[in-house]
A and B are shown apart, each in its own frame.
Chain A
Amino acid sequence: MKKIRNFFKSLFSFDTQPEEPENIEELRVAFRERYHNFKLLLSANNRSLEVMAEMEQALQGDRTFSMSFVRSSATSISVNVFRMIQSLQQLAPDKYAELDARFVTIEQSVNAILKQTRTLPTGRLILPLNALDKDMAEVAGSKMANLGEVKNRIHLKVPAGFVITSSAFKRFMDYNSLQVEIDRKLQSIDSDDIEDLYSFSAEIQQLVIRSRIPDDLEAAISGAWEDLEAESGGKITVALRSSALGEDAEGSSFAGQYRSELNVSFEHVFQAYKEVIASKYSLQAITYRMNKGFRDEDILMCVGCLVMVDAVSGGVTYSRSPVSNRDDSIFINAVWGLPKSVVDGSVACDLFVASRQPQLSIVRKDICLKERKFVCYPQEGVCRMDLTDEESTRPCLTDDQAQQLAEIAVRIENHYGMAQDIEWAIAGSGAIHILQSRPLKQIHSGETEDTAIDPELKKLLIVGGGITASPGAGSGPVYLGDRGVDVLAFPEGAVLVARQALPRWASLLTRASAVITEQGGFAGHLANVAREFGVPALFGIPDAATILKQGQVITVDASRQAVYDGLVPVLLSDTGVSKTCLMKGSPVHEILKQVSQHIIPLHLLDPDSREFCPAKCSTFHDITRFIHEKSVIEMFDFGKDHNFSERSSKQLYYRVPMQWWVLNLDDGFKEEAQGKYVTLDNIDSIPMKSFWKGFVAIPWDGPPAMDRKGMMAVMYQSTTNTALTPGVRSAYSERNYFMISRHYCSLSSRLGYHFSTIEALISERPRENYISFQFKGGAADTNRKLRRVHFIKDILEELGFRVEIKEDHLVSRLENHDMAHMEKQMEILGYLTLHTRQLDMIMTNPVSVNYYRNKLRKDIDTMKAGD
């Protein structure tokens, strides 16, 4: 086979073999192959530019993207650049071998950034709580590290326990090869499609739960459990609490995204461990990470095991107000039994407010009807109990307990020097145990005095009151959430109305314009996440799900605690709270930024410059630019130099012989053109025909009348700029050449003193269609040249082109429209090619500029309206 190929190669190497008439069929095939190669090169070029544009857009940071977007984009660009190199080497063997090395260097730089991983400080699988402090988040996750700090440095009462470390998590994931599988699945899903995410979430959680805990980890957990029983003096059950690592970037709480397992016995500790880990892939956790720009592999799940406190009452304390940084009161939310129901927003809770001045004391108590509580079963598990009349109305803290909790809050806050969110439980003995303490994010409130409701709006008011869980106002149709599956049907921009403030609603927050719930306070997880994402949330509106009707458009003013009928624009404009841009500064955004440095910047601008060479290609974009330029020239020179009459260039005959030459690359002529001319009727190239139609549509008025200064500038440039001297440039640019096939056209033209190239691929494949238009130079001085370039930029942008200008070089592109639209744009470019010539002369004369701008716009509109 190789022999045959070699023989074949020698047969078709055109450099050495002169054409023989009997080889005509082979020649045709060879030309066709060349052209097909060229087309593949163009499509690879197009694709890589497209993905680069997507990357640039993502860099703006105003939409979410995940690590798999970064990886797929980088890989896709890399593959397409590689294909371009391959194709170019087919067109011109051995000529551009240097590109290979450039490619590898860039690829390796990109790869190095994508492969960065977190290095862990220790290999220990288990650490006791006694050994932890706040600086050990890398090992224990921030939750457990902070709990260690509270226990060992602030010396408050914390249940005994240990942490299954980040190294243990890695051990578990590696042992089961989970990360590769997760990345693969992540890439294939559409992150905007909640249904996709839903099934992805379910699959991965299953996968984790079915995985095996490696023997060394199992042994380590068993050993730690025995130590804990020895320390506690008897049989124990524990609470397994997620303590993720990598979540602690500024402004993100990951509130309630992960699972905790309460009252677990030794029998089930391994299963429970896997369940907590699996909760890293709950729907709300996945969407949260995506929206915050976290890399999946950067989030390591440490799991804390704390001896279970059978709580009489429990709750959450905020050492300051989460919704206003002007309020330094302490807020204590409490329920009977385990604090679980405060956190998950499922039960109404008592609120105690303490003031710091003149001395720390409880100044307000809101005691509500508590219908149920959660308590521990003796063996394992948690049960829900309905409360009797007496217990349901009695405050679940004594004044003394509330006072103690306020004092604890101040103590922890002082230690950390920032507001805290503290979870606690009170045991049967009356002792207060701290279960968690983390920084509390406070929202900057604007003018707080402006809380009164506008009397004009009173008549639209549906319901008022409740608790501001997250300030601001939002409007949209009501969507009544009920069961878990409703998540899938939630419409973009709706107002979520639910009975309970359950954490699972968090996955909807990026799509909701506001949230209303009947139960739940501002201490719950959902409230936390709503604040973080800047979604207005109003909690504690009794019967909201009954009063508000599905689909009814309402406006929620969470700051002033009111719900209005219909759209109330005045409220929406003055909220002062804008949805925060979450991607900028996030880890994933940072990686994209680094990666793009090796991909996007373009250094190769001027093909005539000596810098325009493989050695100067330092990004993928440079390589594509270089290859594209060279491939066009290779195609051109090959056709032009080769003594094959079917493929040699023909002069265009349109009424008379024109100063335009046409090179047929493949199927650009209806029939073979005999002799030196090709008539316009014989042209079968879709883009060229459109171009020509526009070019001859409206006659040119001749050169604009220029002032004396403009004339001088032109004359001066003509004598100094060698690029304007014939014979200096390559043959390709001396004349006006069309290279065509049925769907392709490349036009290099020198009209007046400027140089422009237009290239277009127009076919029934909209995704491959593009027009690129480049423009450079002019005879006038730099100032005038620049003005014209910007003049043309404005026009092109109006047409929908993406335009970039560097110096006096304009590069523009239009992509992915259907055939008819592309043909029309090509026609307009034909018109512009003729009518912008020599416009640089008048560019300093505002009256003329205006005249020409209006004329061009008018003509373009006429053309758009035509046929």
Chain B
Amino acid sequence: MEGFNVLFVDDEVDFLETLLKRMKKRQLNAFGVNSGEDALAYLKDHVVDIVVMDVRMPGMDGIETLRKIKKTNPLLEVIMLTGHACLEIAREGMEVGAFDYLMKPINIDELLYKLQDAFKKKSIQMEKIKHLEEVMISSKLPQSDD
């Protein structure tokens, strides 16, 4: 699968750094920020395909950030990765539209698979939209000619 951009959001600086290093070693375009607020700011002016985000963070928590991301950027896939095993919060996250809710500690390969699966989902959606646009353009053209 060709390269894609992943933003990691976690307030634990050490954890984040290690994860970024390991991801970059696996040829992934990985970036990191430490809070929900920073994530939203980052998304404003960077191209990101997938966000991997902690749930419990000081300031804006993961679920709230997820809500905001899904509102402005519904095609972006978000994976929750957390040390907080709680059924209710997990369901809330899934209902808001998270791609998955994973628990730390995570096997690095498993995380990589998840990223690939999420990216594939996103690509298919993008393709659908591309065709949709083509259909809309082609259906418009004859009308304007009239």
Contacts and interface: CB of A to CB of B under 8 A. Distances in A.
A452 to B, nearest CB: 52
Nearest to A4: B132
A716 B98 CA distance: 55
A574 interface: no
B22 interface: no
Given A29-B128, A187-B83, A36 B90 contact: no
Given A1-B74, A767-B109, A74 B87 contact: yes
Contacts of B125: 33
B101 interface: yes
Contacts of A43: 113, 117
Report, as a range, how many residues of chain B touch the other chain.
20 to 34
A559 B135 CA distance: 86
B61 to A, nearest CB: 12
B124 A29 contact: yes
Interface stretch (A106-114, A326-334, A408-416): A106-114
Contact of B101 (A25, A30, A75): A75
B27 to A, nearest CB: 15
A114 B88 CA distance: 11
B132 A11 contact: yes
A382 B103 CA distance: 46
B105 A79 contact: no
Contacts of A76: 85, 103
B139 to A, nearest CB: 11
A405 B130 CA distance: 89
A651 interface: no
Contacts of A74: 85, 87
Contact of B85 (A1, A107, A187, A190): A187
A281 interface: no
Q: From DSSP, what is the main secondary structure of chain A's interface residues?
A: helix
Interface string B81-119: 011111110110010000011011101011001000100
Interface in A156-190: 180, 183-185, 187-190
A76 B90 CA distance: 9
B105 A188 contact: yes
B26 interface: no
Contact of A29 (B85, B91, B131): B131
B56 interface: yes
B88 A111 contact: yes
Interface in A14-43: 25-26, 29-30, 32-33, 36, 39-40, 43
A114 to B, nearest CB: 7
B103 A72 contact: yes
Contacts of B117: 36, 39-40, 43
A82 B99 CA distance: 11
B124 A33 contact: yes
Contacts of A39: 117
B83 A184 contact: yes
A717 interface: no
A242 interface: no
B100 A767 contact: no
Contacts of B15: 188
B104 A107 contact: no
A39 B129 CA distance: 22
Given A75-B85, A83-B94, A25 B107 contact: no
A768 interface: yes
B71 to A, nearest CB: 10
B91 A36 contact: no
B146 interface: no
Interface in A364-392: none
A187 B113 contact: no
Contacts of A32: 124
Contact of B84 (A1, A83, A184): A184
B24 interface: no
A33 B128 contact: yes
B145 interface: no
Interface string A458-491: 0000000000000000000000000000000000
B68 interface: no
Contacts of B105: 188-190
Contacts of B107: 767
A32 B74 CA distance: 20
Nearest to B138: A22
Contacts of A187: 83-85, 103-104
A765 interface: yes
Contact of A68 (B82, B85, B127, B129): B85
A830 B124 CA distance: 34
A185 B82 CA distance: 10
A8 interface: yes
Interface of B is mostly: helix
B21 interface: no
Given A1-B74, A36-B120, A68-B85, A7 B132 contact: yes
Contacts of B44: none
B128 A8 contact: yes
A49 to B, nearest CB: 15
A5 B114 CA distance: 25
B124 A180 contact: no
A364 B88 CA distance: 64
Interface in A76-115: 76, 78-79, 82-83, 86, 107, 110-111, 114
Nearest to B112: A765
A649 B30 CA distance: 42
A767 B110 CA distance: 7
A71 interface: yes
A184 B103 contact: no
A83 B100 contact: yes
Contacts of B90: 75, 78-79, 82
Contacts of A68: 85
A83 B103 CA distance: 15
Contacts of B85: 68, 71-72, 74-76, 183, 187
Contacts of A114: 87
A184 B82 CA distance: 8
A115 to B, nearest CB: 9
Contacts of B127: 29
Nearest to A110: B87
Given A29-B124, A36-B120, A75 B86 contact: yes
Nearest to A86: B94
A137 to B, nearest CB: 30
A110 B88 CA distance: 11
Given A68-B85, A72-B85, A79 B94 contact: yes
Contacts of B87: 74-75, 78, 107, 110-111, 114
Contacts of B132: 4, 7-8, 11
Contact of A107 (B91, B100, B110, B135): B91
A36 B124 contact: yes
A187 B54 CA distance: 14
A90 to B, nearest CB: 10
Interface in A296-340: none
Nearest to A185: B83
A858 to B, nearest CB: 38
Contact of A188 (B83, B109, B120): B83
A421 to B, nearest CB: 38
A185 B84 CA distance: 9
Interface string B60-92: 000000000000001000000011111110110
A765 B109 contact: yes
22 contacts: A1-B74, A4-B132, A8-B128, A25-B131, A29-B124, A29-B131, A30-B128, A39-B117, A40-B117, A71-B85, A75-B85, A76-B103, A78-B87, A79-B91, A79-B101, A83-B100, A111-B88, A184-B56, A187-B83, A187-B85, A187-B103, A189-B105
Kindly list the 7 A-B residue pairs having the minimum CB-CB distance in the complex, ordered from nearest. Answer: A71-B85, A184-B83, A188-B104, A75-B85, A188-B83, A72-B85, A79-B101
Given A25-B131, A40-B121, A111-B88, 17 more contacts: A1-B74, A33-B124, A36-B117, A36-B120, A71-B85, A74-B85, A75-B85, A76-B85, A76-B103, A78-B90, A107-B87, A183-B84, A184-B82, A187-B84, A188-B83, A189-B105, A765-B109
